Chains A and B, each alone.
Chain A
């Protein structure tokens, strides 16, 4: 029985009272799909990697769950979890940046918008970075730049492939030019990783935009995207103001980028783990003999004269 059938059967179990369901939504026991409106047990949604069982909509998945989905149990080794954001510009818009950071850390239990580490994916060792959209829209400041750079540098030294799951609104304005420069810093680290002959695969999840798109998201040896993810450099509204016309509905979607040659493959989340494993295995060095012989022959004898 497929997972899908299992969910379908489960829904047949009988109706639940309206009242009970409302109470359970409030408790977070039930989740409503923002695409099709169908209610699913949050536990079931999580079991299906936050992909709607009804319509296939990919809900946002946060860094802890993503690591859990991709990394073999017991192999995750977080790196640089102690790297903390600062407020170098003493930035204050409608709220002080230092207050924003403190609130975000309390609310998300994250230090900043990325988790990095090493682990095994289907028994394949790799360096993994996972951005987290909850933390200030996944924006890239000094901490995101530093942690990803260290991840790439470590992977280069250790000879590991790198996978970075992107989810970002772009550069973090509250750190000004320090944020912009992280784009160059990470790209420089990727240049060295690439020169070492190692594989880098960014996974573009919803949304991947701005400075992240204009740096490490687009620098993959192979670029993977999740279905219907928004992938953009400039924002849709900015472009609509510039061109003064309505843009196609699928503009800047993963499918649109694939059609235009900027994404290599769109992979449903439920197949992400196996696809990444397949890609990494296809790039592993082949031992000495370039091709498998068509048939094996035994007992060649060399005459010694």
Chain B
């Protein structure tokens, strides 16, 4: 499909590709007007465009990947949930804070015939929606709603799928007053206690404690262009380099890509994205996600609850890099 017909939101590194595609369009139009056969040239140019797209997306820098992960057209939690479920009912309310948090959504779905609790961070689909969704930054009530739904899943023996896509937990006045730290901490501990299988997937941006607050599971999966970071590269650059303009450097240094996390022993499953990113072909992205969820859920369902809890503990237990020596001079 020619890019010009879609009003695509372009990322700066996609420019050479767009220029080439525009040239292809020009030649096609010219040929139609003059009734000349240019099919051979067109095929060559289209092959080159494909190659170029592949080259660009195969060698994205961490900062460019962050742009893809934050792409406004990237499928969101609710997009995926609705696409992979046979049935779905969203449920609201943490039963405590006095309001529902639209930045963290959840409910019960039927997935491949089986009831599953699904929940995740929800960014807006446009500017207005984004304001309503607080740009996907959840409040304590959101994390408590998530825990309430997960405990519901545990009670009725439903597996849990969480979808992570947030710049971080909301750093607001009210969020602090309502115990943002406590809400996240409580989820970290209690997710270890759940009997049912838990599969967590970073679909876009995994921002710090706000992501981890729904991120303790039996499997951690990440889409190819998703990122997961201890602090946003912007904040990290501001603190460590004293210059938020150096976010690209920070993104590189922090090791935030799916491949980086695989190398660090944190990530279990890396899901390839369609060429051009999940937003370029949401249907294909959904199929990849659905297949991976099915496969991983199946392998977890054969284990006993005690085995799952044990393996979940071991999975996090082994994360960390340190040395053990008698002398403190080996750094």
Known A-B contacts A102-B331, A176-B230, A184-B215; A262 and B182 likewise in contact (beta carbons under 8 Å): yes
Q: Give Cα A145–Cα B254 distance, bound, in whole angstroms.
A: 18
Interface centre among B189, B242, B261, B330, by most chain A C-beta atoms within 10 angstroms, is B189
Q: Is the CB of B180 within 8 A of A214?
A: yes
Cross-interface CB contact of B216 among A178, A184, A194, cutoff 8 Å: A184
Known A-B contacts A213-B181, A234-B171, A260-B179; A83 and B324 likewise in contact (beta carbons under 8 Å): yes
Q: Give Cα A214–Cα B253 distance, bound, in whole angstroms.
A: 24
Q: Give Cα A74–Cα B313 distance, bound, in whole angstroms.
A: 35
Contact digits for B169-209, partner A, Cβ 8 Å, 1 yes 0 no: 11111011111111011101110110000000000000011
Q: Is residue B264 contacting chain A, with contact meaning CB distance below 8 A?
A: yes
Q: Is residue B241 contacting chain A, with contact meaning CB distance below 8 A?
A: yes
Q: How large is the interface on A (under 10, 10 to 19, 20 to 34, 35 or more residues)?
A: 35 or more
Q: Is the CB of A211 within 8 A of B209?
A: yes
Binds B, one of A17-25, A120-128, A236-244: A236-244
Known A-B contacts A84-B325, A177-B256, A260-B179; A238 and B171 likewise in contact (beta carbons under 8 Å): yes
Cross-interface CB contact of A232 among B172, B176, B184, cutoff 8 Å: B176
Nearest chain A CB to B130's CB is how many angstroms away? 15
Q: Which residues of B contact A176 (CB under 8 A)?
A: 229-230, 253-256, 260, 264
Q: Is residue A94 contacting chain B, with contact meaning CB distance below 8 A?
A: yes
Q: Is the CB of A262 within 8 A of B179?
A: yes
Known A-B contacts A177-B261, A184-B215; A82 and B169 likewise in contact (beta carbons under 8 Å): no
Contact digits for B83-105, partner A, Cβ 8 Å, 1 yes 0 no: 00000000000000000000000
Contact digits for A226-264, partner B, Cβ 8 Å, 1 yes 0 no: 000000111100110011010100011000000011100
- Chain B residue with Cβ nearest A187: B188
Q: Which residues of B contact A149 (CB under 8 A)?
A: 317
Q: Which residues of B contact A218 (CB under 8 A)?
A: 179, 181-182, 185-186
Binds B, one of A63-71, A85-93, A292-300: A85-93
Q: Give Cα A156–Cα B177 distance, bound, in whole angstroms.
A: 33
Q: Is the CB of A191 within 8 A of B189?
A: yes
Q: Which residues of B contact A233 (CB under 8 A)?
A: 169, 171, 175-176, 180-181, 184, 209
Q: Is the CB of A185 within 8 A of B256?
A: no
Q: Is residue B58 contacting chain A, with contact meaning CB distance below 8 A?
A: no
Nearest chain B CB to A47's CB is how many angstroms away? 30
- Chain A residue with Cβ nearest B172: A242
Q: Is the interface of A mostly helix, strand, loop or mixed?
A: helix
Q: Give Cα A235–Cα B181 distance, bound, in whole angstroms.
A: 12
Q: Is the CB of B173 within 8 A of A243?
A: yes
B-side interface residues, number (CB < 8 Å): 61
Cross-interface CB contact of B185 among A105, A187, A189, A192, cutoff 8 Å: A187
Cross-interface CB contact of B331 among A98, A188, A215, A247, cutoff 8 Å: A98
Nearest chain A CB to B207's CB is how many angstroms away? 10
- Chain A residue with Cβ nearest B243: A94
- Chain B residue with Cβ nearest A213: B181
Q: Is residue A216 contacting chain B, with contact meaning CB distance below 8 A?
A: yes
Q: Is residue A61 contacting chain B, with contact meaning CB distance below 8 A?
A: no
Q: Is residue A173 contacting chain B, with contact meaning CB distance below 8 A?
A: yes
Q: Give Cα A219–Cα B192 distance, bound, in whole angstroms.
A: 13
Q: Is the CB of B230 within 8 A of A191?
A: no
Q: Is residue B326 contacting chain A, with contact meaning CB distance below 8 A?
A: yes
Q: Give Cα A219–Cα B320 distance, bound, in whole angstroms.
A: 21
Q: Is the CB of B324 within 8 A of A84?
A: yes
Interface centre among B170, B212, B235, B241, by most chain A C-beta atoms within 10 angstroms, is B212
Q: Is the CB of A88 within 8 A of B230?
A: no
Q: Is residue B2 contacting chain A, with contact meaning CB distance below 8 A?
A: no
Q: Is residue B323 contacting chain A, with contact meaning CB distance below 8 A?
A: yes
- Chain A residue with Cβ nearest B313: A188
Q: Which residues of B contact A179 (CB under 8 A)?
A: 230
Nearest 3 Cβ contacts at the A-B interface:
A234-B171, A142-B320, A213-B181
Known: A89-B255, A173-B231, A180-B212. 7 other contacts (CB 8 A): A171-B208, A182-B320, A214-B188, A217-B181, A218-B185, A242-B173, A260-B178
Listed by A's residue number, 22 A-B pairs whose Cβ atoms lie within 8 Å are: A89-B254, A94-B242, A149-B317, A173-B231, A175-B321, A176-B256, A177-B255, A178-B321, A184-B212, A187-B185, A188-B313, A189-B317, A191-B193, A214-B169, A216-B185, A217-B185, A218-B182, A234-B169, A235-B171, A239-B171, A247-B173, A260-B178
